[in-house]
Structure 1
Amino acid sequence: MMKIEKVKDVSGKYSENARRNQFLSSRKDKDIMELGRRILRGFGYNPQPLCPERLLDGCEGIEIGIDDILSIREIPGEDPLTFKRVKPFNEGFFSMDYRSNNFGSYDNDGHIFVKLMEFLPKKWYDKDVLLEKQSKGRDIKIKGILSKRNPDYLFFIRNTYDKPRGSILENSLINAYLLPVKSLKSQVIDNLNMIRDSNDARPLKLDNEIDSILDIYQTWQLYDKRHYDFELIRARDSNRPDLIMKIDKDNLLDYTLFNSNGEFNEI
């Protein structure tokens, strides 16, 4: 059990019941990964931080955003979170990427925010320029769910950090969404193609990375949020501008939702 520091609730008094019933991180380690691991352990799973040597090609796993792995041999027999419904990318284990879902206000508690790709400088919005950069050794590739290589699962975690909310204390879990990447990626591509179709642009294909990057830029420029049940947002993550898709949980194809106690939430 993770050590929980003494934390005040919003009334300024210590609430033992609140501290006992909520998932919290310590002030020293307010980490979404630790919140995600605690949820999984509560259901009998044993997530382990990625050891690069356990993957083929050395550090490939880190490059595609793997934080933890779950050995198939250690999946609980009843598999309460149904990990085995997905065929893993790497034989022998499922891979996991923990993602912060902390965007905006209370109104966003029922949404997930999916990173599609990092924005490159506008002068790079040209195939010849991208090819020239690539020939000079620049790393030109999609970094996000539209990449050709992804972990098996994304764990979107929303937490309070150091700002308590109502009865939910600081450094606490608000909610979390566990999603298989394959179905989420398919939904993201379908949404982008909805934009392209309504603007008479050919469907998005992720065959060639540079062509795909240019097609995604074009899709962003064609986007008009009034027409769709999702949003595209140009946001900043780790000081880099990113293209993000905001999706309402009611429109997700396949997900498991957890409440502030790390328990199943009714869908």
Structure 2
Amino acid sequence: MDKSKKKFSFVIITFIIGFMIAVQFQTVQKPIERDTRDIWQLREALLKEKELETNLLKEIRSNDEKIDSYESQKKQSKEQTLKNTLQELKAEAGMTEVNGPGIILKIEPVMENIRLGEPVTKVISPDLLKRLLNELNMYEAKYVSIDDQRVINTTVIRDINSDTKIDGHTIKSLPIEVKVIAESKQKAEKLYNRMQGSKSTEEFFIDNLKLTISPPSENITIPAYDNPIHIRYMEPVKDTKGGKS
């Protein structure tokens, strides 16, 4: 019985010793990794991390500034669009001075009648001016002025107390100039050629007036319309809330 106990104790001790030797061998084979850097290497690594953090913060700040800039440009773009639209509307209404290629028509008394001592025609009839305007528009005139008075869509030419008036402006004496601007240089030349073969010259001559058509010019200036524009049959839209007026 004692021998059995001794054998059992020997086996247990042998097993424990073998286990310890195995553990020690495994530890030697795979030693635990340690951070062997000194304090200066650690400081350098920390500095790199701080630099990375600083760069990231700069990038975030830069992106925020770009977003603010985009928002500002977007707002300015809306304002500029409104300004451009207003300017276009003013130009269409004739409220701005315009410059471009075109021709100048000169209306004056017939010189032959002056030499013969006949009465000099000092006025021009509204009907004659209207026919001239209709012809110019038919030949694609874009802007027109008569005696430095801008002609727009609402312009009225009429006889008041034997005076020819253009929107209240009286044509007091001759000669006067009719300035015409076309859309392009080519259209200005086309307008000139058509007016050269027009019957307007004969119609003016019947009224003892001479119509002279100048060659096309690339630099014709027509003034802005300087009379108040009266708007009728129009009223502001009422403010609506929730889709109900």
- TM-score, scaled to structure 1: 0.20
Query: Looking at both structures, which has the greater relative contact order when contacts are Cα pairs under 8 Å and sequence separation is at least 6?
Result: 2
TM-score, normalization: structure 2?
A: 0.21
In terms of Rg, which structure is larger?
A: 2
